[in-house]
Amino acid sequence: MSPITVAEDPTCSTTNVSSQSERGPRHVNLEALTATPQSPSSSWHEDVHCISPKDTSNPLRPPTFRTIDLTRTHQKQHLAASFRVLARQGFDEGTAGHISLRDPENPSHFWINPLAKHFSQIRVSDLVLVSEDGIILPGGAQSPINAPAFAIHSAIHRARPDLNAACHAHSVYGKAFSCFGRPIEMLYQDALRFYNDLAVYPRYGGTVLTAEEGERIATALGPKCRSVILQNHGMITCGKTVDEATFLFIALDRCCHAQLLANAAVCPGFEKRVIDDEMAKVGYKRSGNSSKMWLAFQPYYGQVVKEEPDLME
């Protein structure tokens, strides 16, 4: 769900561009530049539990664009918005925390936040493009990045070509639950998003400053999971889109919170009851699929774009 007008990437096509004053920013209507709308598909509607009007395209799905430049601009906007959303959730702590997004044209390159810039102030123009070898590339901001962030994200992007984004921050409940070195239990509906899709890195390897430690984390994530709890550290969530990865992080932190509350309440007569595997499988398919996770982030995106439009600069 794109905003009606968004800040134009300097390399974007200028078709249908409406200029403001020479001193003001130029904007491009991405909606006008999208490819021919796709007809609603039953699988998409089933994934997101959507009933749409008849004879209309479905706007509640990731848009497609005619050029790589427009695709990149759209994705960078959602990446910048993700930092603002995490800031609103209180998931910021000094220089800790980072989200990466694979470049749509060069899969071995990814976009990431600059070091020591608060999540609440990150704009599209602040995003840094880095190679898999750790070289800051032209095309993005020429700013330093967090070395542990590079070690973690580069390893994940190399190991998992199916995942385009990874999110890590030092949230309070994620940190608290990570000390157990175990996954959350299937105690409530929202936890089913992580049914058989949450790995654990069962050791603490210190601040991640080496490629080897990053590779161990990527190995713990495994070939299929989207999320991993890092013992005594926190958690990482990933997705096909940055929207998916970011929403999963919010969801997992809240699940950790709920798990801690449930554990604290256990006493005779108040034993925990775990959802059985059969229902958990159904719940995961219905509430944890990538389409639903992308859609779940859109209310956060719409709110932050409306209230903090400077993030598009």
Q: What are the pLDDT digits (tens) for 152-210?
A: 999 999 999 999 999 999 999 999 999 999 999 999 999 999 999 999 999 998 787 77
Residue spans per domain, the chain? 68-312
Which amino acid appears at position 288 of this protein? G
Q: What is the mean pLDDT of residues 111-129?
A: 97
Q: What is the mean pLDDT of residues 146-153?
A: 93
Helices (DSSP H) in 125-241: which residue ranges? 147-159, 172-178, 211-221
Q: Which CATH class is domain 68-312?
A: alpha beta
| Pair 114, 145: CB distance under 8 Å | yes
User: Would the pLDDT of 251 be above 90?
Assistant: yes
User: Would the pLDDT of 262 be above 80?
Assistant: yes
Gap between the Cα atoms of 280 and 188, Å rounded:
10
User: Would the pLDDT of 222 be above 60?
Assistant: yes
Q: What is the mean pLDDT of residues 228-240?
A: 97
User: What pLDDT, on a 0 to 100 scale, did the predictor assign at position 52?
Assistant: 75
Q: How far apart are the first and last CA of the chain?
A: 18
| Pair 185, 191: CB distance under 8 Å | yes
Q: What are the pLDDT digits (tens) for 37-94?
A: 444 455 777 788 777 777 666 667 889 999 999 999 999 999 999 999 999 999 988 8
| Pair 119, 83: CB distance under 8 Å | yes
Mean pLDDT, the chain, whole residue set: 87
